[in-house]
Amino acid sequence: MTTISSAPAQTRGADKPVSIVLVHGAFVDASGWKSVYDILTRDGYEVLVVQNPTVSLEGDVEATRQVIARASKPVLLVGHSYGGAVITEAGTDPKVKSLAYIAAFAPDVGESVFELATRPVPGESGPPLLPPADGFIIVDPAKFPTSFAQDVDISVTGFMAVAQVPWGLGAVQPKLTKAAWKDKPLRYMLTLNDHMVSPTTQRFMATRAKAKVTEIKSSHAAMLSHPKEVAAFIEAAATDAN
């Protein structure tokens, strides 16, 4: 285990033998990957970014498969948060050679994100979600900055709180039919200061999947607060896809 203390976009990657596909999670959009994307493309990778609707798991898996199909090389599939469930289902595509999870859900076949998110964890409180409205969930805007990204500047997280992308129950509740992590190499970045996906639950999922784990003292939004470390983690995972 390693410890660290501290519309689809595409670029050409002439230097590296692997394409990287980034899949965002709930309540945000793909723009959260921007700093990580800049580092990866600078380092010579072809990087493609999925813009998930987060209305249904099926729709997000299909959106991800469409992006995988456009990659010109074998794929490292990277998921953050709910995006982990998406890559777990979509990652069975033969073009996908390895997986990387960042504070992400990694459900098993027959298991939903809802089941993992509500898994009892003694001594740890759950995320401050408001009750579903019209089939969608959001984080309490007043608590978003201190729960989703407490190590990111309030000028950024305050806007993120009011610009949330609602998360559809059709994405939260369906049980997965495939689990790519059973058959492909994977790495997991475990965020120790996470108030959205419990570190205990993250460790459970990573251990079950037999992932190579990297720990980081970060909030849930590691790609915003620690883009260099996240990019380094992804580049290490890319070696598994060679």
Our CA angle for 165, 76, 227, nearest 5°, is: 55
- Residue in the structure block whose two tokens are 């380092």: 43
Q: Are 151 and 175 in contact (CB under 8 A)?
A: no
> Cα–Cα distances in Å, from 215 out to 11, 91, 219?
29, 23, 12
**Quick one: residue 198, left, alpha or beta (phi over 0 = left, psi -120 to 50 = alpha)?**
beta
Q: What is the pLDDT of residues 120-138, one digit of tens each?
A: 898 888 899 999 999 999 9
H helices within the chain, ranges in order?
A: 34-42, 57-70, 83-90, 113-117, 144-147, 154-162, 169-172, 199-208, 222-225, 227-238
Amino acid, single-letter form, for residue 35: S
**Quick one: residue 158, left, alpha or beta (phi over 0 = left, psi -120 to 50 = alpha)?**
alpha
Instruction: Indicate if the pLDDT at residue 27 is higher than 60.
Output: yes
The mean pLDDT of 17-35, rounded to a whole number, is 98
Which pLDDT does position 5 carry in this prediction?
A: 37
| Residue 123 Cα to chain centre, angstroms | 24
Domains located in the chain, CATH noted: 2-241 (3.40.50.1820)
Sign of CA dihedral 117, 120, 124, 125: positive
- Under the banding of pLDDT at 50, 70 and 90, the label for residue 7 is very low
> Cα–Cα distances in Å, from 19 out to 62, 76, 161, 210, 237?
18, 6, 32, 23, 12
Instruction: Indicate if the pLDDT at residue 11 is higher than 50.
Output: no
Which pLDDT does position 6 carry in this prediction?
A: 36
Per DSSP, the three-state class of 1 is coil
Q: What is the pLDDT of residues 145-158, one digit of tens each?
A: 999 999 999 999 99
Q: Are 68 and 21 in contact (CB under 8 A)?
A: yes
Instruction: Indicate if the pLDDT at residue 119 is higher than 70.
Output: yes
H helices within 139-226, ranges in order?
A: 144-147, 154-162, 169-172, 199-208, 222-225
Per DSSP, the three-state class of 109 is coil
Instruction: Indicate if the pLDDT at residue 12 is higher than 70.
Output: no
- Under the banding of pLDDT at 50, 70 and 90, the label for residue 14 is low
Which pLDDT does position 4 carry in this prediction?
A: 43
Q: Are 112 and 170 in contact (CB under 8 A)?
A: no
Q: Are 224 and 175 in contact (CB under 8 A)?
A: no
Which pLDDT does position 120 carry in this prediction?
A: 87
Our CA angle for 95, 101, 103, nearest 5°, is: 160
Instruction: Indicate if the pLDDT at residue 70 is higher than 70.
Output: yes
- Under the banding of pLDDT at 50, 70 and 90, the label for residue 242 is confident
Which pLDDT does position 2 carry in this prediction?
A: 52
Which pLDDT does position 125 carry in this prediction?
A: 80
The dihedrals phi and psi of 36, each to the nearest 5 degrees, come to -65, -45
